[in-house]
């Protein structure tokens, strides 16, 4: 339940940290806004608060065209919570309702449609269909404002069943027609390169863009990823086809990351944006994380020198699981070399319309890895067998690697596979789900970082000390990795033991 007085204080202060956490609706105007909207603060008696834009839309409110309340970071609750509502929100953002309907969403989460709708409505003020409708409206607005596509093409690309449904929804949500939205947006952003969607991915400040860029630089797999001139480029395997993206982290603009996205199929815009947001941890609440971690005197200097640290995420579940297995007990460079060999040998080439100067192959599919990884990867036979078992489990559906997983269930499923231990399972949960509370205390680099900061470096001692970092132990582990990578330590360690 929302704390009404706390919400109103945030609105009165125009605090951008709460953008995306809740929605402010003004009864006298019939408009809903983000908390930091620059409009005159409404009187307390004239406002009500909702957990989602869909809930406000259900009550007849329309979106403010001044503050664009859908163009905000998502709530950090969807990563810190692992309950049904949070898991459903992650999958709805990934476009599962558009692809499989509410029945498919319920099946993926392991509940009946009736129970899912009841729980989600109680928690979020709107059911799965209404949440998906709000997601479609946001995707439609992005396509209207960033592409020259016809309105009919945008309607079907955004997931609407008809052009009429598209027009009605846009008018209802934004109080104008799609053509007016396009006129209002002209000149707002630089014109995109032909075939490229130019997007602004919002986040809360502070934002450690340099740390993310350094992480991707050290681990990019040649062929599917690259980093040059402050731009991280990679290929994406999306529900309806491949894509390529360039994320401009080196010339970061406060408040958002610029992304240039090329899609095979426009229907994949929503899933692509959701996966990029998880990749960069853009929905985090960095102020809350930094405040808690800085209360530990040993971590305070690191937090002060690196505010807004982020958890590097994953754009593909199979890819991050394979990277984790490859990285066991070897250096970063060795794991990277082996991964690049897999991409070169087994990755599918991009279609001609997406090919350019950057990465030109997709990370291998589960089917190809299961069949050919043993003869391609080399090295210890046990590692090859573990990779083959992992890929086979993903290929036959035994193991699901998506954002809708419960962290505990994902860890259990991974550890049931040969060659996958607690560290690997925890690392994948942290990277794939954005789990903010995975301490990784058995990681050698984490323990080295702890020793460098004067903390206990044995597993038991570090486990006890890390209890004070809840619920942000993953972010603390990232600070310890940074400490281990400073000149006094070995910066090549990926993971051991």
Residues noted as catalytic: 33, 443
Q: How far apart are CA 273 and CA 104, in angstroms?
A: 21
Residues in the chain, overall count: 497
Query: Which whole-number Å values give the CA distances from 268 to 177, 201, 274, 276, in the listed order?
Result: 23, 16, 10, 12
Residue pair 404/109 in contact by the 8 Å Cβ criterion: yes
**Burial class of residue 146 (count of CB atoms within 10 Å of its CB; 0-12, 13-18, 19+):** buried
Q: CA-CA distance, 475 to 330, in Å (whole number)?
A: 23
Q: What DSSP line would sit under 182-239, residue for residue?
A: HHHHTTTSPPPPTT-EEEEEE-PSP--HHHHHHHHHHHPPTTTEEEETTEEEEEEEET
- Rounded Cα gap, residues 431 and 315, in angstroms: 9
Structure token pair of residue 130: 């209404």
The bridge status of strand 241-253 relative to strand 256-263 is antiparallel
DSSP state of 41: P
Query: Which residues, including other chains, have CB under 8 Å from residue 119's CB and lie 6 or more apart?
Result: 84, 85, 111
Q: At what angle do helices 96-109 and 128-146 cross, to 10 degrees?
A: 150
Place of tokens 């070995």: 490
d(CA 247, CA 199): 10
d(CA 460, CA 463): 5
- Residue closest to 205 by CA, chosen among 89, 128, 126, 309: 309
């Amino acid at each position: 339940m929302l704390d009404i007085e706390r919400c109103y204080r945030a609105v009165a202060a125009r605090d951008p940290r709460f953008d995306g956490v809740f929605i402010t609706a003004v009864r006298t105007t019939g408009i809903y806004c983000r908390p930091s909207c620059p409009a005159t603060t409404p009187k307390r008696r004239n406002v009500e608060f909702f957990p989602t834009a869909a809930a406000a839309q259900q009550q007849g409110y329309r979106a403010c065209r001044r503050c664009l309340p859908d163009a905000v970071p998502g709530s950090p609750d969807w990563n810190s919570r692992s309950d049904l509502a949070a898991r459903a929100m992650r999958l709805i953002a990934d476009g599962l309702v558009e692809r499989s309907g509410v029945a498919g969403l319920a099946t993926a989460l392991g509940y009946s449609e009736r129970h899912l709708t009841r729980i989600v409505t109680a928690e979020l003020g709107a059911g799965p269909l209404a949440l998906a409708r709000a997601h479609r409206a946001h995707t439609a607005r992005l396509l209207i404002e960033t592409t020259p596509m016809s309105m009919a093409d945008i309607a079907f690309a955004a997931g609407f069943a008809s052009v009429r449904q598209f027009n009605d929804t846009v008018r209802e949500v934004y109080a104008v027609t799609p053509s007016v939205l396009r006129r209002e947006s002209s000149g707002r952003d630089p014109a995109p390169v032909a075939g490229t969607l130019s997007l602004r991915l919002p986040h809360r400040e502070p934002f450690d863009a340099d740390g993310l860029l350094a992480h991707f630089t050290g681990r990019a797999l040649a062929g599917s990823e690259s980093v040059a001139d402050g731009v991280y480029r990679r290929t994406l395997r999306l529900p309806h086809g491949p894509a390529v993206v360039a994320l401009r982290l080196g010339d970061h603009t406060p408040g958002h990351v610029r992304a240039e996205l090329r899609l095979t199929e426009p229907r994949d815009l929503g899933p692509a944006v959701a996966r990029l947001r998880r990749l960069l941890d853009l929905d985090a609440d960095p102020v809350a994380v930094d405040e808690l971690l800085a209360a530990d005197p040993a971590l305070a200097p690191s937090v002060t020198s690196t505010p807004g640290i982020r958890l590097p995420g994953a754009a593909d579940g199979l890819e991050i699981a394979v990277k984790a297995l490859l990285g066991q007990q070897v250096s970063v460079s060795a794991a990277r070399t082996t991964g690049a060999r897999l991409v070169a040998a087994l990755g599918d080439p991009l279609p001609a319309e997406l090919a350019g100067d950057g990465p030109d192959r997709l990370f291998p599919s589960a089917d190809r890895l299961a069949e050919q990884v043993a003869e391609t990867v080399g090295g210890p036979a046990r590692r090859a067998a573990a990779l083959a078992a992992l890929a086979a489990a993903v290929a036959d559906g035994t193991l699901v690697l998506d954002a809708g997983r419960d962290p505990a269930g994902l860890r259990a499923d991974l550890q049931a596979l040969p060659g996958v231990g607690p560290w690997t399972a925890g690392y994948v949960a942290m990277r794939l789900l954005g789990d903010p509370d995975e301490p990784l205390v058995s990681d050698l680099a984490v323990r080295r970082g702890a020793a460098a900061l004067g903390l206990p470096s044995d597993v038991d001692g570090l486990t006890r000390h890390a209890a004070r970092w809840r619920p942000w132990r993953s972010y603390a582990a990232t600070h310890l990795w940074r400490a281990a990578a400073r000149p006094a330590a070995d910066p090549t360690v990926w993971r051991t033991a």
